[in-house]
């Protein structure tokens, strides 16, 4: 079996039993040997001993040496304290409600009232503390497991035990970190693993797959495409009803599977696999971050602007990855300082573009040019319409800014309509290039605290009888 990114996590623990963990996108398999019946503080799982299905049962037995059981035992003690507090409060209420004697010793009653008041206060404060502790434990339970009772085998498994855990009990995500401190970008790829199955995992080998263990594929059978003489006209609705009635059961199944959109979870995209040796993964509900691979490549970072889509100026860093980038969410740092915890990237052919942040020092406006009547008219049978827009760029910082601007002019999809770029000019000379599909590239240098305006004019010519839209 081939693994794209082998990883070795040494925990210093020598396992005495062969065990493996296989995490897929839809379920998890945990295989190990054990002499005890206790499995974990879990539910909705299935177990096989030596490939044979075995019975599981809920029990109050939770071994004290198991990490997940410490929380369960703490919850049991808390429940006892809450019951004791409730019982004591009821007894005190009953004592207070007893019939009053005919003769009253004032000193004795004052002393008794004082003691009763102290006890009521103590019980009230204790109840408040226990209630808060109950909420805390409930929150911890929700993070670590979905069950409230220990689960055990009815009989000890004398051999290899395989547990099948449902979706979401153990999950993992890919994490990318990029440090753009100098001319090279340093990439760190990590696995973030989360276990809230209620089972403390210890695996000699753990495998993580970006695919499902169970994939649903419908068989496809050829059906001929018939053309024939149309004898009687029928509406599309009538034809569809008749066709469905004449289809066989097999054809109906194929038609439904072909027309209905396939569920996203059944789509196979890539065989991305990860391997970890000697993995200690307790059910804490806290993410365990494990480095997968680190690499470094040259990077070029520039300020880019797309005014037709957004007035934000982006810092975009380009590099050629050593390994395939599998997720477009990044954490970006610069000399150890946080730049963006949720940066976005994308492939542009073989180059990767990482949008690290927006430059708040650049202010941009884009306004259409209001045309005068003499600039738009009809010549012979052809209408000529001039149009355009003005970009206003303001650098509010005390540093020079170099911008790469991507704009656009309309592009025609018919010979009946023609578009021509007339001019691109501004307060300074503009370096520009018109590419295919109306893509207009401009390079602009803004001095500190400088404002520049760029005017883009184009002309659309078309038959005067046509109505155009753009």
- Per-residue pLDDT of 154-202, as tens digits, reads 999 988 999 999 998 999 988 899 999 888 999 998 889 999 999 999 9
Report how many domains make up the chain: 2
User: What count of other Cβ atoms lies within 10 Å of the Cβ of residue 69?
Assistant: 18
End-to-end CA distance of the chain: 54
What mean pLDDT is predicted for residues 33-38? 88
How confident is the model over 257-303, as pLDDT tens digits? 333 333 222 222 344 788 888 899 999 889 998 888 889 999 999 99
How confident is the model over 331-386, as pLDDT tens digits? 999 888 999 999 999 999 889 999 999 999 999 999 998 664 344 555 667 888 88
Residues in CB range of 98: below 8 A, 6 or more apart: none
Structural domain contains residue 73: yes
Q: What is the pLDDT of residue 8?
A: 42
Residues in CB range of 345: below 8 A, 6 or more apart: 325, 328, 330, 352, 353, 354, 355
Structural domain contains residue 124: yes
User: Rounded distance, CA 123 to CA 142, Å?
Assistant: 28
Is residue 18's pLDDT more than 60? yes
How confident is the model over 104-151, as pLDDT tens digits? 666 776 777 777 788 888 888 988 888 898 888 888 888 888 888 899
Structural domain contains residue 126: yes
The residue segments making up the domain with residue 371 are 362-463
pTM over 0.95: no
Structural domain contains residue 41: no
Structural domain contains residue 387: yes
Here the CATH number for the domain that contains residue 384 is 2.60.40
Structural domain contains residue 382: yes
Structural domain contains residue 242: no
Structural domain contains residue 443: yes
User: Rounded distance, CA 459 to CA 385, Å?
Assistant: 6
């Amino acid at each position: 079996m081939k693994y794209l990114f082998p990883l070795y996590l040494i925990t210093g623990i020598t396992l005495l039993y062969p065990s493996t963990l296989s995490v897929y996108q839809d379920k998890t398999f945990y295989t190990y040997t054990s002499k005890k019946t206790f499995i974990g503080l879990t539910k909705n799982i299935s177990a096989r001993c030596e490939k044979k299905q075995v019975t599981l049962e809920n029990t109050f037995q939770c071994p004290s040496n198991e990490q997940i059981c410490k929380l369960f035992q703490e919850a049991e003690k808390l429940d006892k304290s809450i019951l004791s507090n409730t019982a004591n409060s009821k007894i005190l209420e009953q004592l207070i409600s007893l019939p009053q004697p005919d003769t009253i010793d004032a000193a004795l009653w004052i002393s008794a009232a004082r003691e009763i008041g102290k006890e009521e206060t103590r019980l009230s404060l204790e109840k408040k503390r226990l209630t808060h502790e109950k909420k805390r434990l409930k929150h911890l339970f929700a993070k670590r497991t979905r069950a409230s009772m220990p689960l055990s085998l009815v009989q000890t498994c004398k051999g290899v035990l395989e547990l099948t855990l449902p979706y979401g009990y153990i999950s993992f995500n890919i994490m990318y970190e990029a440090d753009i401190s100098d001319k090279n970008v340093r990439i760190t790829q990590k696995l973030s693993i989360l276990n809230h199955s209620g089972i403390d995992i210890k695996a000699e080998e753990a495998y993580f797959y970006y695919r499902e263990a169970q994939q649903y594929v419908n068989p496809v059978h050829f059906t001929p495409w018939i053309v024939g003489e149309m004898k009687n006209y029928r509406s599309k609705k009538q034809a569809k009803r008749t066709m469905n009635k004449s289809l066989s059961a097999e054809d109906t199944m194929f038609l439904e599977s072909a027309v209905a959109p396939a569920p996203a979870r059944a789509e196979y995209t890539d065989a991305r696999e990860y391997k970890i040796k000697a993995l200690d993964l307790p059910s804490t509900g806290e993410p365990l971050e494990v480095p997968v691979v680190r690499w470094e490549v040259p990077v070029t970072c520039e300020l880019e602007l797309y005014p037709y889509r957004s007035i934000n100026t982006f810092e975009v860093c380009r590099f050629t990855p050593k390994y395939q980038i599998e997720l477009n969410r990044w954490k970006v740092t610069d000399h150890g300082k946080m730049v963006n915890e949720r940066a976005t990237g994308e492939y542009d052919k073989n180059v990767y573009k990482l949008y690290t942040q927006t430059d708040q020092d650049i202010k941009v406006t884009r306004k259409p040019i209001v045309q005068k009547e003499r600039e738009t008219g009809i010549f012979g049978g052809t209408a000529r319409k001039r149009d355009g827009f003005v970009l206003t760029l303001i650098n509010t910082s005390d540093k020079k800014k170099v911008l790469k601007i991507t704009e656009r002019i309309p592009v025609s999809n018919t010979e009946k309509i023609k578009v021509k770029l007339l001019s691109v000019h501004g307060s300074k000379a503009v370096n520009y290039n018109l590419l295919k599909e109306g893509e207009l590239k401009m390079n602009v240098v803004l001095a500190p605290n400088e404002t520049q305006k760029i005017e883009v004019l184009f002309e659309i010519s078309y038959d005067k009888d046509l109505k155009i839209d753009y």
